[in-house]
Amino acid sequence: MNGMSRRGFMQAGAAMGAALALGTGAAQEAPKDKPVRVGMVGVGGRGTYLTKTLLEIPGVVLPAVCDINKEHAARAGKMIADASGKAPELYTNGERDWERLVAREDLDAVVTATPWEWHTPVMVAAMKAGKYGGTEVPAALTIDECWELVRTSEQTGMPCMMLENVCYFENALAILRMVREGVFGELIHAEAGYQHDGRFVFINDAGELLWRGQHAIKTNGNVYPTHPIGPVAQWMNINRGDRFTRIVSMAAKSRGMKSYAAKKFGADHPLAKQDYAMGDLNTSLIETENGCTVTLYLDLFTPRPYDLIFRLQGTKGIVMGAWDKIYLEDVSPKDTWEPFKPYMDKYMHPLWKDHNAGAITGGHGGGDYITVFEFVKAVRNKTQPPQDVYDAATWSAIVPLSVESIAAHGAPREFPDFTGGKWKTTPPLEIRGA
Ligand SMILES: NC(=O)c1ccc[n+]([C@@H]2O[C@H](COP(=O)([O-])OP(=O)(O)OC[C@H]3O[C@@H](n4cnc5c(N)ncnc54)[C@H](O)[C@@H]3O)[C@@H](O)[C@H]2O)c1
């Protein structure tokens, strides 16, 4: 069991419970020189980037890497050997070889960046083996998987963090601090979306349908909700004073995949003749227990620049994050948008400031580094990570709930209360530094 005795493991579980009750920063600091040992599962595009980021964090070691693609595993292995002087053990014997990786005694945590359908199985096995789980987004595809994550974490005492990096973007963090400081008054409404022309990650340049493309053929729903909903959920204290109750979802018709394939590979190409279930633009409306609403978009198949929207509205004003605009009553000139950037600087979140995150380049910049840092910090200190298993389940539940709502012609679907009522007493996320 992770090199930890049964007794030590139970004590760690109790400490984590206490840390959760007090807020995430409260547990004892573990010695900084103790290595944090992470096993990687899935080292394609994102997994390679996470591996690189993990290697940049002092004290992290990567003894094991798993991928069904031998070249991908070897590439990550070389990266780790070059950076640390020690080659990891590679697990490349098929799509369940991660079972051998999670069983290793010398790992504290397992991180997965596989295609979506493997996230829950890998995380559940990791937690059962006494490891911290860190999963790429979304953490689950079905309500049953959401419950499986929650119940496994509760039963084993092992946390599972969905590595939702957009929560650590500079504007998302600054808005979080502004919310906590009452700048927007009482929150009323948010609008956010993953709006990113992603057709190239569904069909590659060789004209092959990739794993995401398989979902586009069979699934019609918001399959990628967590980037925009993560920050909104943190602003609104979801699972920490409020909770999502209902969702209604609709999808526009499907045109983008077919036309993309026809334009790139000709009208006779099989992918230009294929029917796709996934509508080009998904719109969902979510209601919270405390009377807030959220409009959530997924727009992957129309030609457009990237934009997360990030509109947040309260009784005292409104921010339009992606437009760099803000209006605050009795502060801004009447009926006039002000630029958001000076406010973003004024309300810079301590995490962003302490990491000097603006200076970090590559990928999504400082936000990705902070995400991985916060995960490693929780593993090292045996605390609950700031995004817990309830967040992973709630944010990911939008995938199946939106699919069900669309199939029922926009009928509302209820969010399960994954916290079992704990949302009423769990305190909001702390504003704190690194
Ligand atoms: N947070 C972000 O900003 C962000 C960005 C990109 C991707 N992602 C997420 O990362 C994950 C991976 O996406 P990607 O773009 O890197 O995809 P990818 O196809 O580039 O990589 C997936 C990797 O998983 C491997 N794999 C597949 N099945 C496996 C199994 N059973 N066991 C072990 N390895 C397996 C593949 O061989 C491949 O190397 C997805 O969940 C995606 O949503 C997140």
pLDDT tens, residue by residue, 63-85:
999 999 999 999 999 999 999 99
- List pLDDT tens digits, range 102-117: 999 999 999 999 999 9
- List pLDDT tens digits, range 191-245: 999 999 999 999 999 999 999 999 999 999 999 999 999 999 999 999 999 999 9
Q: Which fold does the domain 167-350+389-424 belong to in CATH? A: Dihydrodipicolinate Reductase; domain 2 (3.30.360)
* Ligand 1 site, residue 68, Cβ cutoff 6 A: yes
In order, the DSSP letters of 84-97 are HS-PPEEE-SSTTT
Q: How far is the CA of 45 from the centre of ligand 1 (A)?
A: 7
For residues 303 and 290, the answer to whether their CB atoms sit within 8 Å is: no
Start-to-end CA distance of the chain, whole Å, equals: 29
In order, the DSSP letters of 138-160 are -S-SSHHHHHHHHHHHHHH---E
Instruction: Please give the Cα distance from 182 to 176 (Å, whole number).
Output: 10
**Gyration radius of the chain's alpha carbons:** 21
Q: How far is the CA of 378 from the centre of ligand 1 (A)?
A: 23
* Ligand 1 site, residue 114, Cβ cutoff 6 A: yes
* Ligand 1 site, residue 196, Cβ cutoff 6 A: no
In three-state secondary structure terms, 288 is strand
| pLDDT band with cut points at 50, 70 and 90 for residue 434 | low
Number of CB atoms found within 10 A of residue 360's CB? 18
Looking at residue 363, its pLDDT comes to 64
| pLDDT band with cut points at 50, 70 and 90 for residue 30 | very low
Q: In terms of Cα–Cα distance, which of 105, 133, 107, 109 is closest to 121?
A: 133
Looking at residue 111, its pLDDT comes to 99
- List pLDDT tens digits, range 155-180: 999 999 999 999 999 999 999 999 99
Q: In terms of Cα–Cα distance, which of 137, 189, 154 is closest to 422?
A: 154
Looking at residue 22, its pLDDT comes to 27
Q: How far is the CA of 320 from the centre of ligand 1 (A)?
A: 31
* Ligand 1 site, residue 169, Cβ cutoff 6 A: no
* Ligand 1 site, residue 44, Cβ cutoff 6 A: yes
3-state helix, strand, coil in the chain (%, to 5): 40, 20, 40
CATH architecture of 6-164: 3-Layer(aba) Sandwich (3.40)
Please give the structure tokens belonging to residue 351: 């995490």
For residues 190 and 368, the answer to whether their CB atoms sit within 8 Å is: no
Residue with CA at minimum distance from ligand 1 atom 13: 46
* Ligand 1 site, residue 120, Cβ cutoff 6 A: no
- List pLDDT tens digits, range 269-278: 999 999 999 9
Instruction: Please give the Cα distance from 71 to 52 (Å, whole number).
Output: 17
- For residues 334-350, give the mean pLDDT: 97
Looking at residue 4, its pLDDT comes to 31
Q: Where in the chain are the domains?
A: 6-164, 167-350+389-424
Across the chain, mean pLDDT equals 92
| pLDDT band with cut points at 50, 70 and 90 for residue 358 | confident
Please give the share of the chain, as a percent, with pLDDT higher than 90. Answer: 88
For residues 276 and 202, the answer to whether their CB atoms sit within 8 Å is: no
Number of CB atoms found within 10 A of residue 52's CB? 17
Residue with CA at minimum distance from ligand 1 atom 10: 113
For residues 233 and 394, the answer to whether their CB atoms sit within 8 Å is: yes
Looking at residue 16, its pLDDT comes to 36
Residue with CA at minimum distance from ligand 1 atom 28: 114
Q: How far is the CA of 274 from the centre of ligand 1 (A)?
A: 24
* Ligand 1 site, residue 75, Cβ cutoff 6 A: no
For residues 384 and 20, the answer to whether their CB atoms sit within 8 Å is: yes
Q: Do domains 6-164 and 167-350+389-424 have the same CATH topology?
A: no
Looking at residue 386, its pLDDT comes to 94
Looking at residue 365, its pLDDT comes to 74
- For residues 119-128, give the mean pLDDT: 98
The backbone torsions φ and ψ at residue 259, rounded to the nearest 5 degrees and listed phi first, read: -70, -30
* Ligand 1 site, residue 373, Cβ cutoff 6 A: no
Instruction: Please give the Cα distance from 315 to 209 (Å, whole number).
Output: 47
List the single range of 31-40, 291-300, 391-400 with lowest mean pLDDT.
Answer: 31-40
Instruction: Please give the Cα distance from 355 to 372 (Å, whole number).
Output: 12
Residue 15: pLDDT over 60: no
List the single range of 39-53, 215-229, 354-368, 388-402 with lowest mean pLDDT.
Answer: 354-368
Mutate to test the pocket of ligand 1, among 40, 136, 168, 202 (most ligand atoms within 8 A of CB): 136
335: left (phi over 0), alpha (psi -120 to 50) or beta: left
Looking at residue 431, its pLDDT comes to 79
Instruction: Please give the Cα distance from 434 to 424 (Å, whole number).
Output: 27
Q: How far is the CA of 189 from the centre of ligand 1 (A)?
A: 33
- List pLDDT tens digits, range 378-389: 999 999 999 999
* Ligand 1 site, residue 139, Cβ cutoff 6 A: no
Q: In terms of Cα–Cα distance, which of 154, 142, 122, 138 is closest to 392?
A: 138
Q: How far is CA 348 from the centre of its chain?
A: 21
List the single range of 7-11, 212-216, 319-323, 405-409 with lowest mean pLDDT.
Answer: 7-11
- List pLDDT tens digits, range 56-67: 999 999 999 999
- For residues 337-345, give the mean pLDDT: 98
Looking at residue 432, its pLDDT comes to 76
Could you identify the atom of ligand 1 that is nearest to the CA of residue 91? 33
Instruction: Please give the Cα distance from 212 to 21 (Å, whole number).
Output: 38
Q: Where are the alpha helices (DSSP H) in 294-365?
A: 341-346, 350-354
Q: How far is the CA of 387 from the centre of ligand 1 (A)?
A: 20
* Ligand 1 site, residue 422, Cβ cutoff 6 A: no
Residue 339: pLDDT over 60: yes
Query: Which DSSP symbol is given to 275?
Result: -
Mutate to test the pocket of ligand 1, among 40, 51, 52, 67 (most ligand atoms within 8 A of CB): 67
Residue 18: pLDDT over 80: no
